[in-house]
Each structure stands twice: as C-alpha cells, then as structure tokens.
Amino acid sequence: MDRVVAPRQLVLALDYATSFARDDFMAGPSNTAALKLIESWPDWPSRVMALVGPEGSGKTHLASIWSEAAGARVLGSRLLEHGDLPAALATGALVVEDLEPENLDEPALFHLLNLAREEHARVLITSRAQPASFPVAIRDLGSRLRAIPVVTLSAPDDALLRALIVKLAADRQITIDETLVSFLMNRIERSFAAARAAVTKLDEEAMRQHRPVTRALAAELFRA
C-alpha cells in the first residue's frame, strides 16, 4: 500500500518593517565611533567619509540617520553608471550605498567624486571593504579613495548581540526569554547578519509548525 505523505506547509514571506530612526539604533562598542561621526554632522573632518563594516553591522541604519539630518539623497552603488549624478548631488549631500570593488564602475565613481568636490557637496560611502584597498585602474581614482577617511564598525560584543536578538524578535512580535537568548548566543556566529538569520529561521519554523518560539524549537534548529 502506498504511504500517504502529508504536504509540507508553506510559510508566507511576510514583510517586517525595519525602522531606521535614530531612537531605534542600538549603540555599543562596535559602532561607537561611527555613531559619533553621524551625530557630529556637519562638523566632519572631510567632505567625503566612509563607513566600513560587515554585513548587518548598522551601516545602512547610520546612513539613513545622516540622510534624514543632512537632506541627503541615497544612491545604490550599482546605479552609479546609469544615475544622473548632478541630480543625485542636487541637495548637496549624497549617500552611496554598498560600494564594493567587484563590478565597480570606475569612471562613474571618479566623476562623482570630482563633481562632489566642484559642488562642495558631502558624500557618505558605505562598504564592507576599505575603499583604499580597491584595485582600481584609474590612478587618480585610487588617490581619491586612499584620501577618504574611514570609520569602521566591528562585530558586536555580547551585550549588543543579546539586545539585538531581543529587538529582532520584538520586531516580529515574538517574546523570547533569557534562556533562549543565551542558547542562541552559544550557537550562532557573532555577527548582526547571523542574529537576523537565526531569528528569521525561528519565526518561520514556528509558523510552519504552529508552535511557539521556545528553546526546544531552537534546539531542533540549531544543534551544537
């Protein structure tokens, strides 16, 4: 007799709003210098600054806070080639998000930095890599990138990671206790991205199984 296999329940992909307001930014030793830079606006040491750190370390949140304060427009690095650069700098302030050495449009970036200098505009760059380390062919662009002051964000300490897990859960309307937080802390990589992925995985599996988010569920998903 053929065995009947119950269909696996699908979990709908729900959008969870992420607030990039200043009050929702979680400060800690890993991002103190970056937060200080944003809050010191407009008293910056250079018209072009860079925030460098791993994925999920808060670069976008900080850039959003600065964008609101400075009236800056936001341009994804992939849009440099096709973007209207004079229009992007129309407010005198611009965020260039996720600038990475891979597939970098050197002429467009060089043009942007030169135009920003001519227009006395302010530019905030976010990246996972030091701009000075980009292997560029345009020599003058290399000089420009090496001259950009960099503020680095690092991996979170334990206190910040704990607080982040609780906040990510609260964003999904999940209440978790200290036992579950401690369990996750001992099972995941010490990074913002790993914390976000863990909470998402817990939430989706709990919905699929119609179970509460508990340490028992976490033990099934995150074995040592």
Query: pLDDT, tens digit, for every residue of 149-194?
Result: 999 999 888 999 999 999 899 989 998 999 999 999 999 988 888 9
Task: Assign 47 a pLDDT band (cuts: 50, 70, 90).
Answer: very high
Same domain, 124 and 46: yes
Same domain, 128 and 177: no
pLDDT in tens, 75-122: 988 888 777 899 999 999 999 999 999 889 999 999 999 999 999 999
Q: Which of 125, 152, 179 is the last residue of a domain?
A: 152
In a domain, 189, yes or no: yes
CA 169 from chain centre, in angstroms, equals 18
Task: Assign 132 a pLDDT band (cuts: 50, 70, 90).
Answer: very high
Q: Which of 106, 133, 152 is the last residue of a domain?
A: 152
Residue 114 tokens, joined: 């030169």
For 32-47, what is the mean pLDDT?
A: 96
What percent of the chain clears pLDDT 70, i.e. is strictly above it?
Answer: 91
In a domain, 165, yes or no: yes
What is the end-to-end Cα distance of the chain in Å, rounded?
39
**Encoded amino acid at 164, one letter:** L
Same domain, 95 and 50: yes
**Encoded amino acid at 139, one letter:** R
Same domain, 95 and 111: yes
Task: Assign 13 a pLDDT band (cuts: 50, 70, 90).
Answer: very low
Structural domain containing residue 125: 28-152
CATH of the domain at 191: 1.10.8
Same domain, 38 and 148: yes
pTM of the model as a whole? 0.80
